[in-house]
Amino acid sequence: MKKVILVLSILLSGLSVHAQNIEMDQLMKLTEKAPILIDVRSTEEYKEGTIPGAMNLNIHEEEFTRTVRHFPKDRELIVFCQSGERSAEAYELLKSFGFEKVSQLNGGYEHWKKRAEDRSEK
């Protein structure tokens, strides 16, 4: 029995977990190409549900302007709200700040949510 435990201990001690590593430069290149997805609805609406990966910047709060001014002007930005009115406002504001690549999600979160639900039913 002692020999079995000794053999198992030796075998298990030789095992190691090999994680896939990524260098900081590689990560920076990957993330700088991804669009910034901005949910311009209120915090309460955002908490009720949003598109995965979206950040919440309420168009009617000062934080919106303070935060977006730090984004690179050539970075792709996609804005959305519940149905389109607030994201249209955000789109115009971002364009006035000099952002070159701004898009507004057609139909807003409601449309995205319905499409996501339809896909999950299939």
Interior CA angle at 113 toward 38 and 49, to 5°? 60
Rounded Cα gap, residues 28 and 56, in angstroms? 22
Per-residue pLDDT at 19: 67
Domains annotated for the chain, with CATH where assigned, are 24-121 (3.40.250.10)
Q: What whole-number distance in Å separates Cα of residue 56 and Cα of residue 79? A: 10
Contact (Cβ atoms closer than 8 angstroms) between residue 87 and residue 80: yes
Q: Is 81 a catalytic residue?
A: yes
Residue that wins the pLDDT comparison between 67 and 34:
67
100 falls in which pLDDT band (50, 70, 90)?
Answer: very high
Band the pLDDT of 26: cuts 50, 70, 90: confident
Burial class (CB in 10 A: 0-12, 13-18, 19+), 102: buried
What pLDDT, on a 0 to 100 scale, did the predictor assign at position 18? 61
pLDDT of residue 6: 42
Write down the catalytic residue from 40, 59, 81, 90: 81
pTM (whole model) above 0.85: no
pLDDT tens, position by position, 42-92: 999 999 999 999 999 999 999 999 999 999 999 999 999 998 999 999 999
